[in-house]
Amino acid sequence: MSISQPTGLKFLLRGAAFAAAALTCSLSAHAASLTEGFDKVLPVGWTATNNSTTIGTTGWFQGNDFVFEAQAGPTTSYAGANFNSTTDTNTISNWLIAPTLSFNNGDVVSFWTRTVDIVSFPDRLELRFSSVGAMDVGDTPTSVGTFNLLLIVNPSLTLAGYPNVWTQYTSTISGLSGATNAAIAFRYFVTAGGPTGDNSDYIGIDTVSITPVPEPGTYAMLLAGLAALGGIAARRRANPAA
């Protein structure tokens, strides 16, 4: 009796399954991965802190589809913030903080944002990153705690600087020594804002995602899978089926 070796198709499929399993295990066990469409504000695991000069009548809230509709999903499924984050004319510093995750260099953070159709009062938004994974944003309008700046939308507070259609922004994580428990945060930061201020109107954030980069261990496992495929092929050539 002879035992036939797996056909070329079979061992290729087995190798592909091995490689896919290696990739899945590595990403699920070690890397940051998040997708948030804000069907509910605040989402589970997210926190909000309003450090504006004085606390207004709103913080981060469910999107209002009378102002504009969401970038994706139900029409109100986005996070909104506006001039009522503070009172009178003051500095707005209104934080929306994502859950702590394990980040690696090369992970990509992306989100969509926009302001109102007709812009009369400029807005500004910061994306920040804390490599200690805490929720420390300080307690004053100008403090940022442990969060460093990744990118800023409309840094100079100009009327044309903040998009009035949904626009995607991305930032790549770097400078980490290895897998690090960390967190991203959005900061609605507007000076001279508020109901009587020259700045601040209404912004939305939607479809926040963190895409992990495969870790070095993943590539090692993939190479092991390819080596195993090579071994199977060599055995088939040396021991053809009888």
pLDDT score of 17 more than 80? no
Strands 125-130 and 180-193: antiparallel
Burial 57-77 (b: 16+ CB within 10 A, else e): ebbbbebeeebbbbbeeeebb
Across the range 128-135, mean pLDDT stands at: 89
**Above 60 in pLDDT, residue 11?**
no
Higher pLDDT, residue 231 or 74: 74
Q: Which of 8-17, 33-42, 139-148, 149-158 has the lowest mean pLDDT?
A: 8-17
Average pLDDT of span 76-80: 98
pLDDT at 134: 76
Lowest-confidence pick of 8-22, 160-174, 188-202, 211-225: 8-22
How far is the C-alpha of 170 from the C-alpha of 207, rounded, in Å?
12
With pLDDT > 70 as the criterion, what percentage of the chain qualifies? 76
Q: Rounded to whole angstroms, how far apart are CA atoms 94 and 85?
A: 7
Q: Evaluate if residue 53 carries a pLDDT over 60.
A: yes
CA-CA distance, 36 to 185, in Å (whole number)?
13
What are the CB-based long-range contacts (under 8 Å, 24+) for 56-64? Answer: 56/83, 56/84, 56/85, 56/86, 56/87, 56/194, 56/195, 57/84, 58/82, 58/84, 58/85, 59/85, 59/94, 60/94, 60/96, 60/188, 62/38, 63/38, 63/204, 63/206
More confident residue, 13 or 110: 110
Q: Where are the beta strands (DSSP E) in the chain?
A: 34-36, 47-50, 61-62, 79-82, 90-97, 101-103, 108-115, 125-130, 148-153, 167-172, 180-193, 202-211
The pLDDT, as a whole number, for residue 217 is 53
Least confident of 5-19, 68-82, 228-242: 5-19
Better pLDDT: 238 or 35:
35
The reported pLDDT for the residue numbered 21 is: 46
What does pTM read for this prediction?
0.79
242 pLDDT exceeds 70? no
Q: Which residues contact 142 (CB under 8 A, 6 or more apart)?
A: 91, 93
Distance between CA atoms of residues 97 and 171, nearest Å: 16
Q: How many CB atoms lie within 10 A of CB 112?
A: 20
Compute the distance between CA of residue 223 and CA of residue 18 in angstroms, rounded to an integer.
11
Region of poorest pLDDT, from 66-70, 90-94, 130-134: 130-134
Q: How far is CA 78 from CA 55, 111, 112, 118, 126, in A?
A: 22, 11, 10, 19, 17
